[in-house]
A = this chain, B = another copy of it.
């Protein structure tokens, strides 16, 4: 090995030093995709460590997506995949407060009824459902910030039936009820229709960012929401990093 693997001296643990050294070679392009990485045996000699320590380092690099491993042929630098990124999905009250503005919300609509066929499809349900339909306007100061149109599956979350949503907006309340869930988001630009433009106090036809969110837990759809952000003022931020998980 003449590549200067042992440069990194500042890290705390030996395996993180190994990770850092190899990561540096990969990210700098010194080791291009397909380049062979030292085997566990070679690493034990390079770093005077046990095989478990070398293994831990390489497994971590595999988890980060930087390395792929095959038996016999060894470990190699992976082909980079930039097609995914970490997207920050805004929590509306926090988002507003982060801008230094007072947050409040207004409940415009709140009704319990049976789901229409179109709504059953949205919620991926074959059987009839009782749902809660909610329309909530989120405000930053006195300015409309986001219009939320939500459907809650009452078979999945019966506790919502008698919830007034007076203190917490529906999104925040739901997190407190069902902490672990999956969520699918679809993001698109739309032109504000008449009703939306009036509520958000923007001109009709103005461009809006709309997030559609479908939340599930253990395969059951809990809630479906449209979040429409006023005008061109709102943006989402997403970041891709080759090593995007932990340190």
A193, B94: Cα distance in complex, Å = 32
- Does A132 interact with chain B (Cβ within 8 Å)? no
Cβ-defined contact, B238 with A187, below 8 A: yes
Cβ-defined contact, A232 with B191, below 8 A: yes
Q: Which B residue sits closest to A237, measured CB to CB?
A: B186
Cβ-defined contact, A84 with B87, below 8 A: yes
A86, B240: Cα distance in complex, Å = 10
* With known contacts A86-B87, A89-B83, A189-B232, A239–B183 Cβ distance under 8 A: yes
Query: What does DSSP make chain A's interface, helix, strand, loop or mixed?
Result: mixed
- How many residues on A have C-beta within 8 angstroms of the other chain's C-beta atoms? 59
* With known contacts A232-B190, A238-B187, A84–B89 Cβ distance under 8 A: yes
Cβ-defined contact, B188 with A235, below 8 A: yes
Cβ-defined contact, B83 with A91, below 8 A: yes
Q: Which B residue sits closest to A192, measured CB to CB?
A: B207
A contact residues vs B (CB 8 Å cutoff): 26-29, 32-33, 52, 62-63, 79-80, 82-91, 94, 175, 178-191, 205-210, 217-218, 229, 231-232, 234-242, 245-246
Cross-chain pairs A/B with CB under 8 angstroms, 14 sampled: A27-B180, A63-B246, A79-B179, A83-B89, A84-B89, A85-B87, A85-B89, A89-B238, A182-B239, A185-B240, A189-B190, A189-B231, A190-B232, A191-B232
